């Protein structure tokens, strides 16, 4: 079940027991399987980013964030901002698993009249906090929300997921200037550091390193973690919550296409879905062992 709190705000204890970790890992696997199914049904969409970020979305919605699917506009909910809206298949799937809308609706992805368009649209779907499209905009949306929360002395936090490729957009760094200057400790940026974008690797197209030093120069706390380790990511969130004078950026090193061996690290899967038939069947089979990283129940 999601991390829910109704009434007076109580910040969740993020300590992760082994049993809960296993449940989260199983949930992330199920989310990856649904991502493949919906992409195949749609015949278009992005594969690498959604698969790579499934662990982080699972941890946020089922362990970290305070929210309530039955009261999606509850005023004290944590706010989640997706800046790189093209990875919305993982957001939609996670929201469905959390109970915001029926799972069967996932099969309407990118279809005419569907609430699940190629980029999420605020107010179209319960649980979607922002309309995403132009890369970089999510960071400014997030700092605006976080600043408003501090002005109102509200207890909720803001989590903003961003791609590493969109860090080439200047609006990102304007938002970081604002966040650092106003000490938005209630705002956590999570960078999907998968090192790819649609035309190749980030370091070939627009080099980002030394990335941590750049954020630190903006008076931002920087934490690095293994983005495909739920335990490591939750530890990073705990560290971010422990900082009271600065916003935090979590540089989450992820593997694009994680769990599907033929997609992993290959930038060509950034914006391409698997084909129905042998390709998608193989993808689902590989996801169940995370590309051979875990043993199958039948072995």
For residue 109, the 8-state DSSP code is T
138 neighbors 128 (Cβ within 8 angstroms): no
- Ordered by start, the domain boundaries in the chain are 18-287
- Fold classified for 18-287: Rossmann fold (3.40.50)
Question: What are the pLDDT tens digits along the chain (299 aa)?
Answer: 344 433 334 456 899 999 999 999 999 999 999 999 999 999 999 999 999 999 999 999 999 999 999 999 999 999 999 999 999 999 999 999 999 999 999 999 999 999 999 999 999 999 999 999 889 999 999 999 999 999 999 999 999 999 999 999 999 999 999 999 999 999 999 999 999 999 999 999 999 999 999 999 999 999 999 999 999 999 999 999 999 999 999 999 999 999 999 999 999 999 999 999 999 999 999 999 999 998 755 44
276 neighbors 52 (Cβ within 8 angstroms): no
Neighbours of 70 (CB within 10 A): 10
Strand partners, 162: 191
86 neighbors 49 (Cβ within 8 angstroms): yes
Q: What token pair was written down for 262?
A: 């033929």
Neighbours of 293 (CB within 10 A): 11
pTM of the model: 0.95
Give the closest residue to 254 by CA, choosing from 12, 56, 34, 47.
Answer: 56
- The CA–CA distances, whole Å, from 23 to 85, 156, 237, 257, 285 equal 27, 26, 19, 21, 20
């Amino acid at each position: 079940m999601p991390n829910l709190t109704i009434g007076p705000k109580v910040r969740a204890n993020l300590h992760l027991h082994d049993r809960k970790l296993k449940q989260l890992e199983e949930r992330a696997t199920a989310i990856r399987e649904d991502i493949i199914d919906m992409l195949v049904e749609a015949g278009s969409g992005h594969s690498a980013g959604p698969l790579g970020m499934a662990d982080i979305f699972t941890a946020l919605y089922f362990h970290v964030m305070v929210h309530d699917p039955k009261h999606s506009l509850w005023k004290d909910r944590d706010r989640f901002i997706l800046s790189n809206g093209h990875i919305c298949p993982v957001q939609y799937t996670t929201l469905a698993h959390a109970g915001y809308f029926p799972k069967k609706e996932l099969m309407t992805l990118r279809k005419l009249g569907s609430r699940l368009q190629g980029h999420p649209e605020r107010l179209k779907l319960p649980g979607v906090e922002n309309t995403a499209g132009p890369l970089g905009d999510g960071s400014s949306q997030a700092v605006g929300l976080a600043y408003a929360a501090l002005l109102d002395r509200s207890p909720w936090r803001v989590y903003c997921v961003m791609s590493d490729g969109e860090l080439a957009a200047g609006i990102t760094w304007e938002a970081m200037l604002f966040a650092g200057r106003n000490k938005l400790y209630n705002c956590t940026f999570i960078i999907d550091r998968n090192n790819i974008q649609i035309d190749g690797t980030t370091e070939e197209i627009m080099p980002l390193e030394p990335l941590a030093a750049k954020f630190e120069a903006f008076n931002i706390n920087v934490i690095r973690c293994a983005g495909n380790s739920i335990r490591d990511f939750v530890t990073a969130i705990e560290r971010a919550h422990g900082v009271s004078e600065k916003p935090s950026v979590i540089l989450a090193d992820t593997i694009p296409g994680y769990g599907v061996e033929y997609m992993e690290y290959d930038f060509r899967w950034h914006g391409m879905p698997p084909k129905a038939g042998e390709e998608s069947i193989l993808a689902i089979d590989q996801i169940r062992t995370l590309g051979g990283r875990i043993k199958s129940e039948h072995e």
